[in-house]
């Protein structure tokens, strides 16, 4: 697998074991691991710049980087670095610090693996790894009943979405005999329509399409603020990029998928903004705002696909990256304010 992914998977258990057995803090080890990850990413980006394309093949498993996957990978490493620095005071003296940082690095590697997967099945595997590490991080404060309820809702809904995606992948394989994203092109047929529908619903749970969004406000509100930043900044937006890659293998239905994305995008914009107005906690306001911003991304991409104009797709992807960084920093700011207020009154929650 690509070095930038392998580094995350290898060093994640190292962080956990080191944090438990040595005097050095897990946060310090994580920062060192992220430094190595930045180096690996720099080498990967350099290879891409030199050749214009980058593809890794290991047996039957393929990975490939393009401009979008490299940008999302860079955003993932950047936000993980910021969250690691940010989380130090909040986690000081709390049990399970080594688990937090180990899962954080694993989540980073899983997101990079997700956006660089070269075939549909391995895309699903990384989709699952992203989900599992996210569950564990959302449930970090598991002494709260609200946190456990939010995690259970997240688990049930995203597991259902994963099953639907797997069925969609099986239908694509039955139609084409291959799962390679660069060679799989399925002509319009009833199987193609069903597979695309399963992809939209299954990945739609991960990116909080209306009406499958109900897990998101609870998970964002109950997770540690640093994890809310990662969920909003890289996990959800990477799900959108992966949905578009999966739909791209279904040829001949651009008008239909474009119209569907426009419809879902419009619903997300309206529902997200209206529900945000009813909230009285900052993190829930940010969560519903994220739902509406996902709608803007879908609307732009849908218009681009429907009209056959690349500018729409480019605009949606730009919004994806800008929103990821902006909303992540908003969650970190809210968490910092909450931390300062809790030092004066531990009952305050924002």
Say if strands 61-65 and 54-58 run parallel, antiparallel, or are unpaired.
antiparallel
Per-residue pLDDT averaged across 214-218, rounded?
Answer: 93
* pLDDT of 245 strictly over 70: yes
* Range among 24-38, 50-64, 103-117, 305-319 rated most confident: 103-117
Stronger pLDDT, 229 or 190, i.e. the higher one:
229
What is the pLDDT, as a whole number, of residue 184? 63
Quick one: average pLDDT of 236-247? Answer: 87
What's the average model confidence in pLDDT over 149-177? 91
- Residue 143 pLDDT > 80, yes or no? no
| Residue 52 scores a pLDDT above 60 | yes
- The DSSP result for 112-154, as a single string, is HHHHHB-BHHHHHHHHHHHHHHHHHHHTTTTTSHHHHHHHHHH
pLDDT at 119 over 80: yes
pLDDT, position 107: 95
Task: Provide the pLDDT for residue 93.
Answer: 66
Instruction: Kindly tell me if the per-residue pLDDT of 177 is higher than 60.
Output: yes
**What gap in Å lies between CA 124 and CA 119, rounded to an integer?**
9
Q: What is the mean predicted confidence (pLDDT) over 59-64?
A: 83
Q: How many CA atoms lie within 13 A of 297 on its CB side?
A: 25
First to last CA, the chain: 41
Q: What is the largest CA-CA distance in the chain?
A: 63
Predicted pLDDT at 246: 87
- Domain coordinates in residue numbering, the chain: 1-116
pLDDT at residue 294 in the model: 95
Q: Say how far apart CA 15 and CA 31 lie, in whole Å.
A: 10
Q: Under a CB-based contact definition with an 8 Å cutoff, are residues 127 and 242 in contact?
A: yes
Q: What is the pLDDT of residue 252?
A: 67
How confident is the model at residue 253, as a pLDDT? Answer: 72
Res 22: pLDDT: 64
Binning pLDDT at 50, 70 and 90, where does residue 199 land? very high
Task: Compare 276 and 186 and report the one with higher pLDDT.
Answer: 276
Grade residue 344 by pLDDT with cuts at 50, 70 and 90: low
Task: Please name the residue that has the structure tokens 């056959």.
Answer: 308
Q: Is 214 helix (H, G, I), strand (E, B) or coil?
A: coil
pTM: 0.91
Per-residue pLDDT reduced to its tens digit, 308-322: 888 888 899 899 989
| Cα–Cα distance for residue pair 192/317, rounded to 1 Å | 25
Given a cut of 90, is residue 277 above it in pLDDT? yes
Q: Which of 163-172, 198-207, 242-251, 301-310 has the lowest mean pLDDT?
A: 242-251
Q: Is a pLDDT exceeding 90 seen at residue 36?
A: yes
The pLDDT value given to residue 307: 87
Query: Of the given ranges (5-14, 99-108, 251-260), which has the lowest mean pLDDT?
Result: 251-260
Q: What is the mean pLDDT of residues 10-25?
A: 78
Q: What is the pLDDT of residues 284-293, one digit of tens each?
A: 999 999 999 9
Whether 23 shows a pLDDT value over 60: the answer reads no
Alpha helices per DSSP H over the chain: 3-21, 26-51, 67-91, 97-116, 120-138, 145-176, 190-206, 215-222, 225-230, 236-247, 254-276, 282-307, 310-344
Give me 336's structure tokens: 């910092």
Confidence class for position 54, pLDDT limits 50, 70, 90: confident
Give the C-alpha separation, 250 to 256, whole Å: 11
Higher confidence at residue 46 or residue 183? 46
């Amino acid at each position: 697998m690509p070095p930038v992914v392998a580094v995350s998977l290898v060093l994640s258990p190292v962080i956990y074991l080191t944090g438990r057995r040595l005097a050095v803090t897990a946060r310090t080890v994580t920062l060192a691991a992220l430094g190595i990850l930045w180096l690996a990413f720099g080498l990967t980006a350099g290879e891409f710049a030199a050749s214009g394309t980058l593809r890794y093949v290991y047996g039957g498993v393929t990975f490939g980087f393009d401009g979008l996957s490299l940008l999302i990978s860079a955003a993932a490493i950047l936000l993980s670095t910021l969250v690691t620095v940010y989380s130090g005071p909040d986690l000081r003296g709390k049990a399970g610090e080594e688990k937090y940082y180990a899962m954080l690095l694993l989540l980073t590697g899983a997101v990079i693996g997700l956006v660089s997967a070269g075939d549909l099945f391995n895309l699903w595997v990384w989709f699952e790894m992203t989900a599992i590490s996210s569950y564990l991080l959302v449930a970090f404060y598991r002494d709260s009943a609200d946190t456990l309820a939010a995690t259970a809702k997240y688990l049930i809904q995203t597991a259902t979405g994963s099953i639907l995606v797997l069925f969609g992948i099986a239908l694509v394989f039955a139609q084409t005999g291959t799962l390679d994203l660069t060679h799989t092109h399925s002509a319009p047929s009833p199987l193609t329509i069903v597979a695309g529908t399963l992809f939209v619903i299954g990945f739609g749970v991960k990116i909080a399409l209306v009406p499958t969004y109900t897990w998101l406000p609870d998970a964002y509100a109950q997770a540690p603020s640093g994890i809310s930043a990662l969920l909003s900044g890289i996990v959800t937006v990477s799900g959108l990029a992966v949905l578009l890659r999966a739909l791209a293998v279904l040829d001949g239905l651009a008008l239909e998928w474009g119209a569907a994305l426009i419809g879902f995008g419009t619903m997300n914009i309206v529902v997200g903004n209206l529900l945000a107005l009813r909230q009285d906690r900052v993190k829930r306001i940010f969560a519903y705002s994220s739902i509406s911003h996902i709608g803007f991304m879908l609307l732009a991409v849908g218009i681009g696909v429907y009209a056959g104009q690349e500018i729409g797709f480019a605009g949606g992807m730009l919004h994806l990256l800008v929103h990821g960084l902006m909303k992540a920093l908003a969650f970190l700011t809210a968490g910092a304010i909450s931390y300062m207020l809790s030092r004066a009154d531990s009952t305050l929650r924002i």
